[in-house]
Structure 1
Amino acid sequence: MPGAQTNTSLNGITPTQQMMASCSGALLTSLIVTPFDVVKIRLQAQKTPFHKGKCFLYCNGLMDHLCVCENGNTRAWYKAPGQFRGTVDAFFQIARNEGIRSLWSGLPPTLIMAVPATVIYFTCYDQLRNLMRSYLGYDGSFIPVIAGASARVGAVTVISPLELIRTKSQSRRLTYRELRVVIRTAVTHGGWLSLWRGWGPSVLRDVPFSAIYWYNYELLKKLLCKKYNVSEPTLLISFSSGASSGTIAAVLTLPFDVVKTRRQIEIGELDAMKSPKKLSSTWIIMERIVRQSGFRGLFVGLLPRLLKVAPACAIMISSYEYGKSFFRKMNKERERKKALSQTSSEKMHTG
């Protein structure tokens, strides 16, 4: 019976190894993509300096971080804007004047939240997909859609309180003491459910993205593996499939991303000003955008989103697939040695 097989036998690796593979992918994606967004923010700050209470989004390929200026530019991790002539000049000036480590400013909040979220998301996706394939007995095209959407709901739900905590901490480097203070304050004023404020817009954007992404990724991966006559995806196949499926998903879900960004900024600025004003709902924000800018307003920022999402998806999925392939080969080699050891032991006993 199909249901009698275990996830390990189906996938060739254990859930713990899946977690390790996704963790390495998240770390690699953060390390590669973060410097580009640091430079982008510094260039934006140079053109329009951020004032106290002003919010901006810091997107490093894995997560969107809402940052609130506390006191002009003096206390924010992104520092005061310099005089840069362009992207390349900004890279060189930041590295020369502030040290190369400044290009990874803002990385700690990413590692605190994005890494566990990514581990939960990718591991749950693989486990759910394998379970559905096992119990249904076939590999239907709807399986990646259901598994991807379900895994994303779980990841968003788990990480939502941390996302709100980071937003309220207003771009300071998070310490355990600060986390405790912010959690206590939020729960005292709004109860435990207040930690999940902003869950709705996140689900509206991330769940459709995940369903579209995994459907196209599995389809493209299968087609390319068949074309090049390989049983497992190579690094190039995973990279190109991830970039293409990420691009498709990013385009189709852009309106939800625009609405989520507006709502995140509204949350952050109301918190910064300690305003009692009621937060706008997702649909009110969408209606406001259409009324002010037409339907084109729901697709603003398409190019920057593609430039961030496509390489991030490609790096993440290719490193994840490589990690799984590494552990799968290691397990096969271990089983082979174990079988040889048992065979030699049996021969000694019979001899």
Structure 2
Amino acid sequence: MAPHPAVQAFIDLSAGAIGGAACVFSGQPLDTAKVKMQTFPNMYRGFIHCFSTTYKQVGLRGLYQGTTPALVANIAENSVLFMSYGFCQQVIRFTAGLHDDAVLSDVQKACAGSVASIFSSLVLCPTELVKCRLQAMYEMELSGKIAKSQNTVWSVVKSIMKNDGPRGFFQGLTTTIAREVPGYFCFFGAYELCRTTFAEHMKCEKDDIGVAPIMFSGGFGGACLWLIVYPFDCVKSRIQVMSMTGKQAGFFKTFMTIARAEGVRALYSGLTPTMVRTFPANGALFLGYEASRKFMMQKFDS
């Protein structure tokens, strides 16, 4: 018997939160390198140079700069994402005239994930804004774009409130949604397709394929997401970080400025650490989500 909708929503939300936390702890240093390379593509020769320079200048703390807002961002985003994902699947079942327990196709699940990402963007944007600013703070001070200041979560939050008000936390929201909607179609679609392939090969149910196949499927989904939407993410990071200087540029203006002044390659700056990060981080995300969701569903059934 399916749980009550409120119980199911709580299970999906909790499982998403656990998966989000696992994602951050497994991939934060590589995410920091990604943001630095996106924002300052001419400052670093490559991923290894960025990683080693940050470690030498700031230490291990520098690689985990922005972990607190990243945790808040990922827990909030994935809680809302997976809760909305479950709800959107029910909406698709209803519109398609299917039973509440009907198994959706991989494409239908991809559509559910794509729509769910709109809701998660609303909670992701403010926390990711703070995270990106913290991660790029050292380079912004070094290049003279901003005055030296206290680089803590609270100092960044106060600065945004003082200069831009509550609306300031949603700088880059349009670009975030433009990134998330097609990205999560690919993310969930590739993840479910990969799980289906494993299940057919292993002759078992998708929920029983095991740890390694789940992690590989999650990593594969993440790789597909980033290959499709990476330029959008680069523009988003640039908008959110450069808004510290008081420059308010929209998506298209920022996109064209980067392409004209720095070349198309600049839109893919930081792709290497992103692709290196995506398998452990997204593998951990889905493993945390699937394992905790399965555990809670079993507890409910018993």
Q: Does 1:212 align with 2:186?
A: yes
Residue 235 of structure 2: aligned partner: 259
Scaled by the length of structure 2, the TM-score of the pair is: 0.73
Going from structure 1 to structure 2, the CA distance change for 1:182 and 1:148 (only over 3 Å counts) comes to: same
Matched, 1:160 2:129: no
For structure 1, the residue ranges without an aligned partner over 5 or more in a row are: 42-56, 68-83, 272-276, 336-351
Distance 1:113 1:298, change over 3 A: closer
Q: Say whether 1:285 aligns with 2:259.
A: no
Does residue 14 of the first structure (1) align with residue 8 of the second (2)? yes
By how many angstroms is 1:214 displaced? 0.8
Residue type matched to 1:173 in 2? T
> Letter of the aligned partner of 1:29 in structure 2?
C
Task: Give the aligned partner of residue 149 of structure 1.
Answer: 114
Q: Specify the alignment match of 2:147 in structure 1.
A: none
Contact 1:109 1:173 in 2 (8 A): no
- 1:179 to partner: Cα distance: 4.6
Would the alpha carbon gap of residues 164 and 103 (structure 1) be closer, same or farther in structure 2, given more than 3 Å must change? closer
- How far apart, CA to CA, are the structure 1 residues paired with 2:53 and 2:181? 38
Is the 1:208–1:253 contact (alpha carbons within 8 Å) kept by the matching residues of 2? yes
* Paired residues of 1:239 and 1:314 also in contact (CA < 8 A): yes
**Which residue of the other structure, out of 155, 158, 161, is the alignment partner of 1:183?**
161
**How many pairs does the alignment contain?**
273
Taking the aligned partners of 2:158 and 2:259, their CA distance within structure 1 comes to 40
Give the TM-score taking structure 1 as reference length.
0.64
Gaps of 5+ in 2: 41-47, 138-150
Q: RMSD over aligned Cα, in angstroms?
A: 3.8
Q: Structure 1: how far apart are the matches of 2:121 and 2:63?
A: 28
- Number of the residue aligned with 1:236: 212
**Equivalents in 2 of 1:212, 1:16: separation in Å?**
25
The one-letter amino acid paired with 1:32 is S
Give yes or no for the alignment of 1:316 onto 2:294: no
Contact 1:108 1:173 in 2 (8 A): no
Q: Alpha-carbon deviation of 1:154? A: 0.8
Percent identical among aligned pairs is 18
SS of the counterpart of 2:153? coil
- Aligned to 1:253, the other structure's residue is in SS state helix
The structure with the larger Rg is 1
> Is the CA contact 2:67–2:131 (under 8 Å) kept in the aligned structure 1?
no
Distance, in Å, in 2 between the alignment partners of 1:215 and 1:86 is 32
